Amino acid sequence: MCLFAIPDKFITPTISATAVIIGSLIGATCSWITMKHSIKENTNVENKIVEDNRKYDEIQKMSKICENINIIRLDICTAIFQSIRNLNNFSKENYLSINPIPINKDYSRIVASLTNRFDLTEMSYIYQLYGIIELLNKHMKDYKFNDNNSYKLIIIDCELLLNKTYGDNYKDILKIDIDKIKYEQLYTNEFIKIGYKKILEKLDDNASMDFIKG
């Protein structure tokens, strides 16, 4: 339909209405484009937040595993150190020099957290040591001065821990000056049983975030 066929009184309103419609269409199109871009940006931001949170959770999880590994390594090595020291002191009849052996009360959960890093045999090795350490810790807390039974229980526990770790070589480890060696020297030697040597070395290897990330 040609505008010339439209009566004059309708031309202006028609043009205005057409302009309004066109303007509305342009405005709607711009709004849709803006909204689409905004949704995309918001989605990208949300996805980044989710990914950042996932990475943060993963880092926290790995950090906790490292912490647990270091707790286990410290508990075991401290128990070995103190058992050597106690037996050497006992041999000198120095009853007053009993050294307490700390142990994490939640060790079963801490050891269980290593499931994805250690197999069942390796976990069993660690649990066996903790069983002896827990018993030793209890007997040391119950120790009474000049109580021969308490004294014998602690000796037996210390010998049991060292025998479990070093076998027939445990008496040789008593000859080492533990005040002059580092923790890793307790298992980087020819005296320790090969199974426990591998376990303690593996704990060392898994103790850092760089190794776990790898």
The whole model's pTM is what? 0.73
Structural domain contains residue 6: no
CATH number of the domain residue 206 falls in = 1.20.120
Euclidean distance between CA atoms 10 and 206, whole angstroms:
85
pLDDT (tens digit per residue) in 74-97: 999 999 998 998 888 876 665 545
pLDDT (tens digit per residue) in 28-69: 677 777 777 777 777 777 777 777 777 777 878 888 888 889
Structural domain contains residue 44: no
Q: With cut-offs at 50, 70 and 90, classify the pLDDT of residue 3.
A: very low
Structural domain contains residue 127: yes
SS3 content of the chain, % helix, strand, coil (to 5): 80, 0, 20
Residue 177 near residue 150, CB atoms below 8 Å = no
Residue 171 near residue 191, CB atoms below 8 Å = no
Phi/psi region, residue 167 (left: phi>0; alpha: psi -120 to 50; beta: rest), is left
82: part of which helix (H) or strand (E)?
helix 8-91
Expressed as residue numbers, the domain containing 160 is: 49-213
Structural domain contains residue 114: yes
- In sequence order, the 6+-apart residues with CB closer than 8 A to the CB of 182 are none
Residue entry with tokens 């976990």: 123
Structural domain contains residue 207: yes
Res 104: pLDDT: 81
Structural domain contains residue 109: yes
One-letter amino acid for residue 89 of the chain: N
- In sequence order, the 6+-apart residues with CB closer than 8 A to the CB of 179 are none
pLDDT (tens digit per residue) in 191-207: 999 999 999 999 988 87
Structural domain contains residue 7: no
Exposed/middle/buried for residue 4 (C-beta within 10 Å: 0-12, 13-18, 19+): exposed
pLDDT (tens digit per residue) in 120-172: 999 999 999 999 999 998 888 887 777 778 888 888 999 999 999 999 898 89
Residue 132 near residue 103, CB atoms below 8 Å = no
Res 145: pLDDT: 73
For 193, list phi and psi in degrees, rounded to 5: -65, 145
Q: What's the domain count of the chain? A: 1
For the cut 60, the answer to whether the pLDDT of residue 177 exceeds it is yes
Structural domain contains residue 35: no
Percent of the chain whose pLDDT exceeds 70? 79
- Enter the DSSP assignment of 163: H
